[in-house]
Structure 1
Amino acid sequence: MTWLAERQAVTASNIANADTPGYRARSVQSFSSYLEGPVLQLAATAPGHMSLPPGEARPVEITSGASWASSHSGNNVSIESELMTASSSSRMMNMDSAAVKSFHRMLMSSVKV
C-alpha cells in the first residue's frame, strides 16, 4: 500500500504539472523491483527477535517516466497515460484494502470464540 500511495502521489504531481513548461513526467519503480529487497526496518522488541542491519530498508525510487508525447515547451506529461496509471493504482488499492479487511474480519471472528 505504501508503494501504491507513492505511485498515486507521483501521478497527481504529473497531472498537476501538465501545463508547466519544461516539466518532465516522473514515475515510480515497478512493484517487482520494490520487492527485491527488504522494505521495512524491523524492530526487535524481545532478545530472541531477529533484526536487520541499520540502513538495509530502502525507500521507493522515483524515476523520470516515459511519456507518450512531448510538447514544444519541453513538457512530456500525457494526461491519458497519467489517468490510466491513477485508475490502475486505485483498483490495486481497493483490492489490497479488501484483502486486509477480509483478513481482519477472519481474525476478529476467531478471537471472539
Structure 2
Amino acid sequence: MVYHDNIEEFADPAGYDREDESDTGVAFYASLARETGGPVLEIACGTGRVAMPVAQQGFAVTGLDILPGMLEVARGKAEAAGLPARWVEGDARVRPRRAVPAHLPDGQLLPGLPDER
C-alpha cells in the first residue's frame, strides 16, 4: 500500500515532464556521481530528468520507478540519445541485491512511501 491514494496523478509522463522541465538538482547529483565514481541508482526516476544528464557524463545509470509509462519515456529518451542507461520497473521498498549509492530527488519518492510502519 502506498501513502498517496491517487498514484494516477503521478502516472502521466507528459505532465511529469511539463511540471518540472528544469535541471534543478542535476549538477548536484552529477557531482555526487563524480565523487563516488558510480554506478548511479536513481530511485523514483520518472522519465529520466536527472538520470539522463548524469548518464551523458559517462556514468553507469540505473533508473528505478514503479510506473511503467514513466520508464517507457525514459527508455525512449535514452535510446534517442544513444545512452546505455538501464531502466527497471520496481518498488523502492525492495532491497537491491548489492548496495549502490542512491539519491531521492527533491522528495519525489514521498508520494510512494508506505502508510504502514
Short-chain TM bin: under 0.3
**Higher-helix-fraction structure:** 1
**Higher-strand-fraction structure:** 2
- TM-score normalised to the size of structure 2? 0.21
Q: Which has the larger radius of gyration?
A: 1
